[in-house]
Amino acid sequence: MSRKYFGTDGVRGRVGAYPMTPEFVLKLGWAAGRVLANDGRSLVLIGKDTRISGYMMESVLEAGLSAAGVDSRLLGPMPTPAIAYLTRTLRASAGIVISASHNPYYDNGIKFFSADGTKLPDEIELAIEAEMDKPMEVVGSADLGKAERVEDATGRYIEFCKSTIPSAETLHGLKLVVDCANGATYQCAPAVFAELGAEVISIGDTPDGLNINADCGATAPQQLREAVLSNQADLGVALDGDGDRLIMVDHKGEIVDGDESLFILAQAWQREDQLGGGVIGTQMSNLGLELALRDQGVGFERAKVGDRYVMEELLRNGWTLGGESSGHIICLDRTTTGDGIVSALQVLHEVVHGEQSLHELKQGMMRYPQTLINVRLEGKIDLGEKIITDAVNDVESELADQGRVLLRESGTEPLVRVMVEGQDTDTVARLAEQIAGAVKAAAEQAA
């Protein structure tokens, strides 16, 4: 069944425009409460990132849950993976995250975790949507839900992150720059690395409600790169606004993306007989990752773009490691969702344990030149339009078997993503522009 409100990662949009309005989110909280309370467990956690609209969304969600007779626990600004973790450990029936992840401050979203700390099953999302179409009824006054704030949420999550590497291991001697994207990790990320003994230089740690992801963090690592070089740091860690993405920078200022982090972990875990199968990437994963893993005798499969689909393939295969070029990395034997801090700690463990720099660890993978162009849309277009398919066919003919083309609509933004990958940087850039031009022309014709 098709979803009416939920996308690939909850409900998301521009604040003040449907569906990100107080009225809709109030009803969503109520509908979720009605469904989640059916199993007799009536406690839901609510966490958020640092965007200013989080105050409004938190209040109306709390009211909606209360109206359905469900208690809520408010976590305040917390990374998305922290909310997944705390949902499990506090034995809640669900966790709600108020975040638009890597999007600008004027967007926001609502996503849910199950009691197990995983994305909600399709049948639960569909049940919530069915409740949304019913009149809102408030339980009797004696049955209204109560709300309390969890005061030690940050400390609980910090200790969990530290527990994902060997207990005797420290980061003493490492100088790190940590870019928190002025987002949900601004308190906990620097603390995790500092408590493990690293010298931490923290940037992007002064959120004001409007500067989340603004020229900083995992989606804009240039500021981190400059800080690593100017401070002569060993490496840099960039997280995104809700803390589930990781991009790193080595001591030479070179970007280390999600594909390279996956390669580092897969190679080390294979050597130590800890991998537990192969690696799940996505359609966007660099061809160099696939070839490097093949050379190591590690299986590799591609899922659709989105950590939801990576998780599905991990579970289907019984594997534990997967992720995306953008930095969503899932270490399923350590946590239940993508976690930027936990992923960074696994890479840092290899730096310390192997006594190699991040720059040295990534050398076994050669990245193929890849150009990604985001074509912003005003409305929907059909990617099967002749002008687009002709452009794609022309590019694929020129690449032959020495590259790839991927064209897809974003699941979280009004964009068409055009990706071309091949052996020559200039050729790849020219061919990506060729397809992007065709998409823009099709959009103008459809307007």
Q: Which residues are catalytic?
A: 101
Nearest CA among 143, 131, 122 for reference residue 32 = 131
Judge whether 46 and 58 are in contact, CB under 8 Å: yes
Sheet strand arrangement including 71-77? 11-14, 107-114, 94-98, 43-48, 71-77, 147-149
Q: What is the DSSP letter of 368?
A: P
User: What is the C-alpha to C-alpha distance for residues 128 and 11, in angstroms, rounded to an integer?
Assistant: 12
User: What is the C-alpha to C-alpha distance for residues 184 and 64, in angstroms, rounded to an integer?
Assistant: 24
Nearest 10 degrees: Cα torsion 30, 35, 39, 43: -30
Nearest CA among 222, 236, 253, 248 for reference residue 190 = 236
User: What is the C-alpha to C-alpha distance for residues 375 and 410, in angstroms, rounded to an integer?
Assistant: 10
Helices (H), 173-236: 188-195, 222-230
The bridge status of strand 199-203 relative to strand 175-179 is parallel
Tokens in use for 439?
Answer: 């998409």
List Cβ<8 Å contacts ≥24 apart for 343-348: 343/246, 343/261, 344/193, 344/237, 344/246, 344/248, 345/161, 345/162, 345/164, 345/165, 345/192, 345/196, 346/164, 346/165, 346/265, 347/248, 347/261, 347/264, 347/265, 348/165, 348/171, 348/174
Helix (H) or strand (E) holding 122: helix 122-132
Please name the residues in contact with 381: beta carbons below 8 A apart, sequence gap of 6 or more: 416, 439, 442, 443, 446
Judge whether 17 and 419 are in contact, CB under 8 Å: no
Please name the residues in contact with 211: beta carbons below 8 A apart, sequence gap of 6 or more: 105, 182
The DSSP result for 242-260, as a single string, is TS-BEEEEETTS-EE-HHH
Nearest CA among 324, 330, 103 for reference residue 217 = 103
